[in-house]
Structure 1
Amino acid sequence: MRVNVKALKGRFDRGYALDKHSLLSTPRGHDAFGHLQWNTRRSEVGEALYQFKYRSQQHHVVPLAQAVQSHILPLLPDFRLIVPMPASTLRTRQPVVALAHALATLACKPVCRLLSKSVGKYPLKDLSRRADKDAALAGLLKLHRLVAGPGGWNILLLDDLYDSGASLDAATDVLRTYEKIHEIYVATLTWR
């Protein structure tokens, strides 16, 4: 899978995304319900993520996990846990959780769901300003203290898309309150 790895900025210690999600979108007209439709050209990673997340094509999960393993994990210091970012939309099968388990198998690291998210008043994708996203995220993430034994663990926080960084920063802030976590690294499949 072709990638174009980008370093991410945020309150986490280090982070990377595999590739840009959409390369070009042009309007193609309205559908029967009056909704504007788009012709979108995505990166290879972006298309695989789109097919996996929105078209339920499960065969994309392993190649995406392999791309994270091959192109992002070598850029990060050692970590002990993979923490999937909690979903904003409830689905029967959560894509980031499935990706986390596929990566865990490849990297021989456990998955630990240290975070959960309450449903917010406004979907983040409907908000354009970072300040509005930060306000919408306030109090939505809950920490689950599931790590047994001594602390000082480095973790990998895994997500599918990096946009403004508001969600990952909010998750980082919550995770930093856990005395058993030391460094927080981030891997996302795409950036907007």
Structure 2
Amino acid sequence: MGILNDLFEYWPRLVEGLCISIQLALLAYVIGIPGGLVFAVATMARSKLIRTTAVVLVEIGRGVPALVVLQIIYFGLPINLGGFLAAGIAFGLTTSAYTSEIIRGGLQAVPKGELEAAQALGMKYATTLRDVIVPQGMRIALPALVSFCVLMFQATTLAFTIAVPELMAITRSISSQTFQFFNMFVIAGLMYGVITISASLAVERLERRLAKHV
């Protein structure tokens, strides 16, 4: 009953923190998924310089932990972006590095016949990329992208290290005041679980629907 009492008592603050976590994740997606598409296309470019540069940047982005990127953006830059924006940019950069590989896999999975048909019609490479490869490749990559977005939502818990008032920071604040650490972290875990499990079920449904069109 103690957990239920704490849940009802601190529900408004916890929901406020959860909303900030969701907003932070959405900002990361807005920055990261288009960035991942750019990197994915760049890693497939005909220019060796562009291709090599993109691959190096992606590998660096995948190799550096999200927490380190977060600290660099917040503490290392000569301008004060504010905690929320700094976290959004940091998570966006990490998202772009990881989603680039997912998107690249989707682009490469587009049937060769589609490309040959575009070439037969005399379409330029840029037009083929825009109208044929990217739309189909993104559809193929969509389930994996959504799955990664779920993981990125969980990673927003790292934002408490720079005092962003997301769910984890609110939970820690309440716990330090009430000393109900177990109850509060169980509640936070359940709130994260509701979001992630719902998203996972949505991914499974999306995969089944897309499979019908393959």
Q: TM-score, normalised by structure 2?
A: 0.25
Higher strand share: 1
Greater helix fraction, Structure 1 or Structure 2? 2
Normalised TM-score (structure 1): 0.27
